[in-house]
Structure formats: C-alpha cells, structure tokens
Amino acid sequence: MAADDTNHQMWEKLGIDLAKHDQLLGVLPTIYKQVYVDSQQNRPKGMGFFEFVIGDVHGIRIKELVQAKADGKMIVGTFCLYVPDEIIVALDGVSIGLCGGTNFSNYAIEGVLPTNTCALIKSALGFGFGKICPYYAIADILVGETTCDGKKKAWEVLAKNKAVYVMETPQLKGRTQARTHFIDELKALVKQLEDVSGKRLTAEKLRDAMEKISKKRAQLRRVYETRKANPPPISGKDSLLVSQIAFYDDPDRQIEMVGKLADECEERVGKGEGVVPKDTKRILLSGTPQAVPNWKLHDIVETSGGVIVCEETCTGTRYFESTYELKGDTVDELLERIADRYLGINCACFSPNTARTDDIVRLAREYNVDGVLLYTLSFCDPYQYEAVSLENDLKKAGIKVLSINTDYASEDAGQIKTRVEAFLETLQ
Ligand code: BJ8
C-alpha cells in the first residue's frame, strides 16, 4: 500500500476531516518552498533532517504517536512553555506543543471565539474544532494554563471538544506565596497526569526526564551560540524551524539531530562560513511565540537584506535559557527545581516583568545586533503593553527599535516589508 493511502487510513481513524486536511497539506509545501528553498542559499546540510520532518509533518511522527499510544504511553497536548515537559516525559508520556501558526483553520472557530482573539489561539482551536490536526486528535489530554485572558477563556471553549486540564500559573513573580502556589500546581498536575497515564512518578524517573530535557535545550543553546558570529552560520528562518520542530519531535532524536546541526554550525563559524555576507544587518526579534508555519516576519526581514540572529520568544531563547541543577532526592525537591526554572522565564503574562527588558538588552549586546524588532500578534494585550514600554526602554539604552503588530494574514506583508526595509536603512 502506498504511504499516502496508509496515512489517509491513519488520519481517518483519528477522525480527521480528510478533505480539509488534504487542502491544508496541499498548501504547506508551496509556502515552505517559497520561504525556505527559493530564497535561501548555502544553508547548513544539517537542515536536511528538519526539512524532511516538516515535509512529512503529519506522517511519520503521527505514526510514532499511534505506536506510542498502542504501547501504553499517554499523549499530552500543551500550549505554553509553563507546562513542564519533564513531568510528562517522566510519566512515560509524550508532550506535543499544539500552538497554531496559520489562519487556515479560522473557518472552524467562526461563531465559537470572539473575532478579537489573537491569531495563535484562533489557529490552535481551529485545528481542533476543524478536525484537521492529528496531533490534537491523538492527544489523551490537553493541558492549558492561566497565562493570558484569551487562553484562560479559550480552555472553557476547548473543554466542550476535548478533555482539558487547566494548570494555574501565577500572575505575579518574586513573591514567596506565588512560588509556593506554583509548586502546589505542579503537584496537582503530577496527580492529574498520574491518573491519565496510570503510572506513578518517582524521583528517579523525574531526574532522568529533567536530564533528557536539559540536554535537548542545551543543543538548541549551542545552535544559538553560533549565531553570535559575524556572519552567522545559519539563517533566522532555519533556526526558527529547528525550534518549532523541538515542540513536537522525539526528545532523544532532537538531542542527536540538533546536536549534529550545532556541530556543523560551530565548524562553519570556525571557517568563517556564513549563510549571509559578513556585516549583514543583524536583528533581534522579540515578542509573541511563532508556531509552525508562522515564518512571516523572518521571511520579510531575511528577504529585505537583514538577518535575524536571535529570537527572544518562546520559540527562541525563552525555550532554553532558564536552567536548573539536577539536585534533589525526592519528587518534591525536584519539583521545586522545576518550579524555579520555569519562574525564570520572563513572559509578558506576568506582572511586573521588567526582567524581560533586561533580557533583551543583554541579548542585543551578546548577539551584537544592529536593531530590535518587537513583534506582537494583534489582540495580544500582554505583549502589546510591553511593546510600548520596551520601545521606550530600549531606545533609552541606545538600541534601535521597530515595533510590528500583525497576525497570520499575508495582506499586510507588503506594508510591513516597506517598514522593515526603511528600518534596515537606518541601521549603521
Ligand atoms: S510563556 S508567551 S507560550 S503564555 S499571543 S495566547 S500571550 S494573547 S502565547 Fe505564551 Fe506561555 Fe507566555 Fe510563552 Fe495570549 Fe498573547 Fe495570544 Fe499568547
């Protein structure tokens, strides 16, 4: 039987709307080719693996998940960095990031979500309600969190469609009671996932999972380190794709393949080999996460004569920067390490969140950037608020800034390109 036929049978068993899903898979390769293949040269050879993974986005990985489920593993869908992968992996589960990066699925949430909802939430719920995401379909449970208002309310809507557990994330950081509460929430999450998986969490399993997930983050960090070079050995677009795939691929395979890519990028830096000419204008992008296939701003910058050398986003440094020591003999002690690590991520959903400004200023220096692009999805209040204050703070720190507010539609791409080109011109 041809691979196409077996895939269709697999998707049908998962309850996928095959006609709509075929349409979705029909447009993705065209977008990928335009953004990644036609407009880039001299990419690292290691990108071949990531190109293969994205080219078969709903094929081999879904087959692996079907098999994992048959082997008794739980599949957990998540939407935020604050839901610890470590706990899911320690319970012999598979964690899949389900944030959506296209407006293709918006038809499915008309009359379900308010129109002034951010594109990321619309996309994610649209994939579920429209039955066009096999990752969503195969998940045993979805874990939401109380970060922004949009998400908090979205889980109520989502719960009508699928089993959802909501973890409470604190709104304030730096207070003892917020930390204590977050630790309690992690314990409650453990209990919930133990019930779903039918397995018990032990300190040994949790420590092993923490080690594995730390290794995976460390490989991404290595790739980022190489982007500090002038010229960078890898484009922003390619680096973004690698981060996006890290949210749903197997962690062991990621350690291996991102590690190989990091080796190659380090070699290229050693030889002075870049993906763009030396002294190409270097941009730090900071803001809301960019889920697959949201490559819009990266594509605009990198087809306008600039290169993105760092992302201060959840699909960038916020994913791997915060760390922990692998210390602790009990589950409770390890959960404290995990809580502190996650509370070190500076998301705009927290108040106050001045450490994010410090992060951006530090990253701008470390990556030797010429300018910062503040990227906010329309209707995302937390990041819109911070974009205004950040613009002032960064300018005071002598950093040039361009603020862009957009969504997943392509209609404003020409206008944004004009603004980006003008911004690049101003960078000395
Ligand atoms: S830790 S950034 S993944 S909450 S874009 S849904 S904030 S209205 S995604 Fe996020 Fe966790 Fe924070 Fe990261 Fe709401 Fe804004 Fe939409 Fe957003």
pLDDT recorded at residue 2? 59
Cβ atoms of 381 and 75 within 8 Å: the answer is: no
Residue 4 has pLDDT above 80, yes or no: no
pLDDT tens figures, 46-71 = 999 999 999 999 999 999 999 999 99
Query: How far apart (Å, rounded) are the C-alpha atoms in residues 56 and 61?
Result: 8
pLDDT recorded at residue 5? 82
Average pLDDT, the chain: 97
Atom in ligand 1 nearest the alpha carbon of residue 347:
12
pLDDT tens figures, 168-197 = 999 998 899 999 999 999 999 999 999 999
pLDDT recorded at residue 3? 60
Confidence of residue 90 (pLDDT cuts 50, 70, 90): very high
Ligand 1 midpoint to CA 348 (Å): 8
Supply the residue whose CA is at minimum distance from atom 11 of ligand 1.
80
Report the candidate in 64, 57, 89, 63 with the shortest Cα–Cα distance to residue 76: 89
283: β partners: 308, 371
Query: How far apart (Å, rounded) are the C-alpha atoms in residues 172 and 351?
Result: 5
Supply the residue whose CA is at minimum distance from atom 8 of ligand 1.
380
Starting at the earlier edge strand, list the strands of the sheet with 164-167: 94-97, 75-78, 141-145, 164-167
> Does residue 189's CB lie within 6 angstroms of at least one atom of ligand 1?
no
> Does residue 291's CB lie within 6 angstroms of at least one atom of ligand 1?
no
pLDDT recorded at residue 174? 84
Give me the numbers of helices (H) and strands (E) for the chain, helices first please: 18, 8
pLDDT recorded at residue 27? 93
Residue 1 has pLDDT above 60, yes or no: no
Q: Is 282 helix (H, G, I), strand (E, B) or coil?
A: strand
pLDDT tens figures, 124-142 = 999 999 999 999 999 999 9
pTM for this model (two decimals): 0.97
User: Per the structure block, which two tokens stand in for 201?
Assistant: 């969490």
Percentage helix, strand, coil for the chain under 3-state DSSP, each rounded to 5: 55, 10, 35
Cβ atoms of 82 and 99 within 8 Å: the answer is: no
Report the candidate in 189, 159, 226 with the shortest Cα–Cα distance to residue 82: 189
pLDDT tens figures, 272-330 = 999 999 999 999 999 999 999 999 999 999 999 999 999 999 999 999 999 999 999 99
Only one residue has tokens 């109520």, namely: 156
pLDDT recorded at residue 383? 98
Ligand 1 midpoint to CA 233 (Å): 29
